[in-house]
Amino acid sequence: MTALLEIGGLKAYYGATQALHGLAFSLDKGGITTLLGANGAGKTTTLRAICGMVRREGTIRFDGQPIDTMATEDIVRLGVAHVPEGRGTFVGLSVEENLKIASYGRRDKTHVPRDLELVFTYFPRLKERIHQQAGTLSGGEQQMLAIARALMLGPRLMLLDEPSFGLAPLIVQEIFHIMRRINEEEGVSMLLVEQNAALALDLADNAYVLETGNVVMAGPAADIRNDEGIRKSYLGY
């Protein structure tokens, strides 16, 4: 089985500041993998580097194809959906437009109504608000919209950046539950970045722990969850 995402020697820069120093890891098809680590460990940067949103060097292969020199929109069109930090809602567009825009880059537009229906089975709440301006949605609804929009891209890999950020625990539970369903029912692999390590380890199959731009720990999520030493020294709980 080939890896869905292979990363080697990845360096990333914000202007003159280097944020990643030769990061390497790979992701198998199918599961949910989580990237853990303290603030500034480079989790968000890793996701951004994969999508070409920051200046980067190194090798990134998606399904065997090198994407490290490709533009963001082309990477997205290959099937990598990024749910960004802060949700990236188009606040001035309606919920429906927020979803439809995601099918813009796909050649075949006939499946759009079907995709919309599919998305609404996961997020019925969005269907109720379909004509509402997206900026008026609550934080939880906007997070749902961000994931739904990513799903509309018909992705094979979803990159999720802090989907729990600023949300009430109950809503986080609901969203994480839906993410698991999407993962299993639609076969979308996921790479999840989370501040809340406990939450992420409960959901994920595998985990990587980052420290200042390097992988310091890797393994099945269950092992890391059960290793009190790792938890105490890296994850702080």
Partner 1 sequence: MEQLIQQIASGLASGAIYALLALALVMIFTATDHLNFAQGEMAMFSTYVCWQLIQLGVPFWPALGLTIVFSFILGLSIERIILRPLHGSPILSIVVVFIGLLAIFHSLAGSIWSHTIKTFPSPFPNVSFAGSGYIGAHQIGMIAVSLIMLFALFAFFRFTPLGLAMRAAAQNPVSARLVGVRVDWMLALGWGLAASIGAVAGAMVAPVVYLEPNMMASILLYGFAGALVGGISSPGGAVFGGFLVGVLENLVAYFGNLTEKAFGIYIVGNGEKLTVALIIVIAILTLKPAGLFGRTTVKRV
- The residues that touch partner 1, with contacts defined as CB under 8 A, are 51, 53, 71-73, 76-77, 81-82, 84, 88-93, 97, 100-106, 109, 149, 152-153
What minimum distance in Å lies between the beta carbon of 93 and partner 1? 7
For residue 105, the minimal CB distance to partner 1 (Å) is 3
Nearer residue to partner 1 within complex by CB, 10 or 151: 151
Smallest separation, CB 139 to partner 1 (Å): 16
Nearer to partner 1, 97 or 205 (CB): 97
DSSP 3-state of 170: helix
Say whether 121 sits in a helix, a strand or coil.
Answer: helix
Contact 195, 209 (CB under 8 A): no
Please give the structure tokens belonging to residue 221.
């999520």
Sheet holding 214-220, edge to edge: 80-83, 157-161, 189-193, 32-36, 206-211, 214-220
Q: Name the minimum Å distance from CB 146 to partner 1.
A: 9
Which of residues 15 and 236 has its CB atom nearest to partner 1 in the complex?
15
Residue among 9 and 154 whose Cβ is closer to partner 1:
154
Alpha-helical runs (H) found in the chain:
43-50, 72-78, 95-100, 112-122, 124-128, 139-152, 169-185, 197-203, 221-226, 228-230
- Partnered with residue 114 across adjacent β-strands are none
Of all helices (H) and strands (E), which one includes residue 18?
strand 17-28
* Shortest spacing between CB 71 and partner 1, in angstroms: 8
CB nearer partner 1, residue 149 or residue 225 = 149
